[in-house]
Structure 1
């Protein structure tokens, strides 16, 4: 555990010294977009183009991906859907993560949480289907309301949500030796997560405004700023994200979290 805490210090330092508003001090008029966007938003002076590290998140819906072209376009990282609930595996996961690794793209698996299954059932399923070699960057827990689900629209209380999330993430941290990142949306964060899990890194969705405007007192590490991005090597729309820190911060953090850790069973 001491080694794990030491490994997390680079990003803790980054997020303490460099908040999401530091970039607002820079003039943005001359900053071109890194990637084409079918539905670009005007973020004003808080444009995500301030950030030097961009990445994508993908699932089976992206279909065939030319990972070498993705890397060459300037993509630094990829969050890849692995599992959902207690019995769903993304059909492209076992293909995507080795190809991302071969292309030199930092990668991490993510799990879409299903509130009609228990935290232990879902942790068991994730661990069964995601080898340690697929966890380069820390694993991601994707928590959001899914009002369009045909099988589960249950919305637990905030306390239940928080306790289930903690149980799931504690299981993954114990097994993989890396503290999970939390991905969330505006409404879910507002309903359940304000002031919670401050020891975890957050990946937030905010496609119309800068996160500082809509996530109350939340320090974020990753920002998903569009769902209509166009990435060379991928057909159709792709989510694009940025990392909060500088390129130097990024290199230090990736090196720290990708090193082997002492985990259960080793």
Structure 2
């Protein structure tokens, strides 16, 4: 693929930015090194993740997509990316301009609903707190809070899988949280054999959370959709935020709306999407 040009769309969801490639004609996905070069903000296009639109994998889906982090590693889940893919498919005509539809991610199948403001709400599925599902080593039974010594610092965190691994650390003030220090330290800890996305969450009220996320393979991003879902899941399990109502999760790049439904145990996420520009990688 590196020998031919590639048309792309640059998009973002609450500042979490993406390069979107259309591979529905069967074109091969770029190799990890090329993904990292495209994502480089100095010599490439620049993005947190690269997304490829591909043929659907499940009956009834309009398309599937895959995810590469800015370091070239693959990812299983990306909530902001899912909304951007939904918007891209509607603009393309592959998905209906009005009404619901379904897309396939590496983590599974997601129902997409249209929001009252014309945006998109993604069914992110049910959070899985079982340590083996995260995966989290050292515990067999799910707990509301785990304690781990990391580089001589005792860290208390919640852990959950949203199709990808998340650790959530509750802090008094997210603005002063040691994101750049504790994020990579926890990612490198043996408790997380596949690394982990580390969220730092400040509970403002029962329906308002401030959040910063240090993503695996990327670093701190302006927003993380699956991280916002994970934070609400962990905090709701502790009784810190309410289930069955929309929780405003305020991230550096914007605010996402997260609803954790008690009836079916699933989390749904809404938020902004934007097309930035179109281009061609030569």
Give the structure with the higher percent helix: 1
Structure with more relative contact order (C-alpha pairs < 8 Å, separation 6 or more): 1
TM-score by length of 1: 0.30
